[in-house]
Amino acid sequence: MKRLNTEWGELESLVLSDMSEGFISNLTIQRQYFPNDDDQVGAAKALMRLQDTYKLDTNVIASGDLPGTSSMGALKSALTVDDCYDLGKVAYSEADYFHTELWMSQALRQLEEGQESAAIDAVTILDYLSYSIYQQGELERALDFTKQLLKLDSTHQRANGNLKYFEYQLAKQRKVEEAGKEEEEKVGREKREAGIKGERGTADYLPERRKYEQLCRGEGIKMTPRRQSRMFCRYFDNNRHPKYVIGPVKEEDEWDRPHILRYHDIVSDTEMELVKQLAKPRLRRATISNPITGVLETAHYRISKSAWLTSYEHQVVEKINQRIEDITGLDVSTAEELQVANYGVGGQYEPHFDFGRKDEPDAFKELGTGNRVATWLLYMSNVSSGGATVFTDVGAAVWPKKGSAVFWYNLFPSGEGDYRTRHAACPVLVGNKWGESSCCSQSLQEKTVGRCEGPVQTAVVLVRLDGGQGSGSGSGFRQAVAGRVVPSPAASEAAQQDVHGDLHRGEDLGLGGTLLRVHLHQVHRRQQPWAERRGWGRHTTMGLKTPRRRLR
């Protein structure tokens, strides 16, 4: 009775109900997570960017036989005629006629090989091809493609008009050539030769751009054997830091000038996965700091997604920050929040500085930090192909290795920027690149980097190395100028250590002088220059009185 009376009625209602409304509603909710037109155009531009950077032939990309995919059959994906046509159309809409020609030619080639397309025909492709080649100054080839088009469709209105125009322009050009001026045709041949090699014409590239792409391909500067002999791997305990006396970290010299270090196995897989999970929900298009206004904004030369994590959000973030401080000796309490970046297809960050230059006083205004003393970059994934961090000024390339971090100083002891640290993140060709960076700001690093500001910057103080105090000249003294302690000519043999310090205005003693504090950091001469040290030695504080002339 119950089954026929109640349950049968429920079944009848279920059969008669219209499920389309629920389906459409669910689809609308999910649609917001689907890629949109901007995403598709961005992916097309990324493929062309990869093509330029890694000198990839269109046929290699279309077949899916990319470097780094030999052992990853599942990652291979061939492009159809429609895909190649769409890539050419995106390039055309950007007035990039070089890539328009490459991809329309590939689409035509695949059509001629027998691939089918329901939406695209040879006439449409030839129309784009002839115009893009004309825009590159190659009239003869543009005329040939127009004639091919008219063989397929003799009534094509635009092609008939172009045929007359191209013939007129070609006759005019031949007259110029007969007069001995062949420069335009020469330029056209050069562009064509560059196109065969999968490159742009030479006029399109700046020297730095070319060097950047060479480094991304692994064609960087090779160190001389003498320089290589000074590069070491070592166990580093940061001057017997309590945390690393028993378990020191593995440190490797990646480059000497500027000094770039890599620390291996800094974080565990569990910690990296936790950081990724924290970052994923808040990943947004990465921004750059406007050098004039200091406002954060997106830029075409930085293609990635990033998220910012603070130490109070999760203990793993606090642990990583503390680890950075323990290893580098820098105070991370004034550092920017931990930035997690994800570089997907074609993701890159073109050559840039991490520090603000003199003409950019408000570079980090919106971030609320000082200038960036140093950069710590942690790799949280391996990349099958591409994704290197390259230093365009010196020719160094650092390749991603999961769980390792690279570290370098952006500023000299004087506070001036080190222009050798100009670097870039190469496009990811195959794989997915996760990175985590922390930039230590200058706000509370003055003692560490030995920089002085204000009136004391030009002070001259003589410091006795035996722990005494006074002013004057003689054996055993060193002279501090502009916040840096340098050896005096008459320094004793016992004082032949590298000593540096910073000067800070102290309280007025009421005796016509000013108390200065000098923080001395003793570093052995055989070690790296103090500005490139990761940790610092013994700290000594001594009180000094300057001459009666007050510092202004």
pLDDT for the residue numbered 37:
86
Average pLDDT on 509-518 reads 31
pLDDT for the residue numbered 70:
65
Among 153-162, 203-212, 536-545, the minimum mean pLDDT is found in: 536-545
Last residue of a domain, one of 428, 448, 468: 448
- My answer on whether 414 and 524 are in the same domain is no
Q: Is the pLDDT reported for residue 488 higher than 80?
A: no
- My answer on whether 464 and 442 are in the same domain is no
**What's the mean per-residue pLDDT of the chain?**
75
- My answer on whether 182 and 74 are in the same domain is yes
- My answer on whether 423 and 464 are in the same domain is no
Please indicate whether residue 504 or residue 62 has the higher confidence score (pLDDT): 62
Give the CA distances from residue 498 to residues 199, 327, 501, in Å, rounded to whole numbers and listed in that order: 50, 21, 10
Last residue of a domain, one of 382, 415, 448: 448
Helices (H), 155-281: 157-178, 183-196, 207-216, 225-228, 269-279
Q: Is residue 287 part of a domain?
A: yes
Tens digits of residue pLDDT in 157-207: 999 999 999 999 888 888 887 776 555 556 666 655 555 444 554 445 578
- My answer on whether 361 and 494 are in the same domain is no
The dihedral built from the CA positions of residue 9, 15, 17 and 23, taken in this order, carries a sign that is positive
368 band by pLDDT with thresholds 50, 70 and 90: low
Q: Is the pLDDT reported for residue 317 higher than 60?
A: yes
Q: Which domain holds residue 474?
A: 450-545
Angle at 289 between CA 211 and CA 405, to 5 degrees: 60
pLDDT for the residue numbered 64:
86
Q: Is residue 19 part of a domain?
A: no
DSSP letter at 427 equals P
Q: Is residue 552 part of a domain?
A: no
- My answer on whether 269 and 352 are in the same domain is yes
Percent of the chain with pLDDT over 70: 69
Q: Which of 451, 454, 468, 465 is nearest to 416 (CA)?
A: 451
pLDDT for the residue numbered 520:
32
Residue 389's beta-bridge partner residues?
398, 425
Average pLDDT on 356-365 reads 64
- My answer on whether 440 and 302 are in the same domain is yes
Question: Which two tokens mark 371?
Answer: 């200038």
Q: Is residue 264 part of a domain?
A: yes
Q: Is the pLDDT reported for residue 224 higher than 60?
A: yes
pLDDT for the residue numbered 85:
96
- My answer on whether 232 and 372 are in the same domain is yes
Among 225-234, 296-305, 423-432, 505-514, the minimum mean pLDDT is found in: 505-514
Q: Pairing mode, if any, of strands 423-425 and 498-500?
A: unpaired
Neighbours of 396 (CB within 10 A): 24
pLDDT for the residue numbered 75:
58
**Contact predicate 229/223, CB 8 Å:** no
Q: Is residue 15 part of a domain?
A: no
**Centroid of chain to Cα 520:** 36
pTM of the predicted model over 0.85: no
pLDDT for the residue numbered 346:
80
445 band by pLDDT with thresholds 50, 70 and 90: low
- How far is residue 206's CA from residue 478's CA, in Å, rounded to a whole number? 47
Q: Is residue 464 part of a domain?
A: yes
Tens digits of residue pLDDT in 258-269: 999 999 999 999
Long-range Cβ contact pairs of 19-26 (< 8 A, separation 24 or more): none
- My answer on whether 193 and 253 are in the same domain is no
Select, from the ranges 29-38, 213-222, 362-371, 523-532, the one with the highest average predicted confidence (pLDDT).
213-222
Percent of the chain with pLDDT over 90: 40
Last residue of a domain, one of 381, 415, 448: 448
- How far is residue 351's CA from residue 335's CA, in Å, rounded to a whole number? 22
Question: Which two tokens mark 409?
Answer: 């100083």
Q: Is the pLDDT reported for residue 353 higher than 80?
A: yes
Q: Is residue 533 part of a domain?
A: yes
- My answer on whether 456 and 393 are in the same domain is no
pLDDT for the residue numbered 226:
92
Please indicate whether residue 289 or residue 414 has the higher confidence score (pLDDT): 414
- How far is residue 510's CA from residue 414's CA, in Å, rounded to a whole number? 30
- My answer on whether 203 and 263 are in the same domain is no
Among 44-58, 305-319, 485-499, the minimum mean pLDDT is found in: 485-499
The CATH number assigned to the domain holding 412 equals 2.60.120.620
- Please, what is the end-to-end C-alpha distance for the chain in angstroms? 103
13 band by pLDDT with thresholds 50, 70 and 90: confident
Q: Is the pLDDT reported for residue 417 higher than 70?
A: yes
- How far is residue 498's CA from residue 517's CA, in Å, rounded to a whole number? 18
Q: Is the pLDDT reported for residue 389 higher than 50?
A: yes
Q: Is the pLDDT reported for residue 418 higher than 90?
A: yes
pLDDT for the residue numbered 194:
54
Give the total number of structural domains in the chain: 3
- My answer on whether 427 and 329 are in the same domain is yes
**Contact predicate 449/417, CB 8 Å:** no
Instruction: Please count the helices (runs of H) and the strands (runs of E) in the chain.
Output: 16, 25
The CATH number assigned to the domain holding 57 equals 1.25.40.10
Q: Is the pLDDT reported for residue 47 higher than 70?
A: yes
* Residue 7 three-state SS: helix
pLDDT for the residue numbered 159:
93
Select, from the ranges 8-12, 85-89, 180-184, 489-493, the one with the highest average predicted confidence (pLDDT).
85-89
Among 19-28, 128-137, 246-255, 278-287, the minimum mean pLDDT is found in: 19-28
pLDDT for the residue numbered 158:
93
Please indicate whether residue 527 or residue 7 has the higher confidence score (pLDDT): 7
Q: Is the pLDDT reported for residue 509 higher than 70?
A: no
Q: Is residue 9 part of a domain?
A: no
Q: Name residue 357's amino acid.
A: R
Taking each helix axis from N to C end, the angle separating 81-93 and 97-112, rounded to the nearest 10 degrees, works out to 160
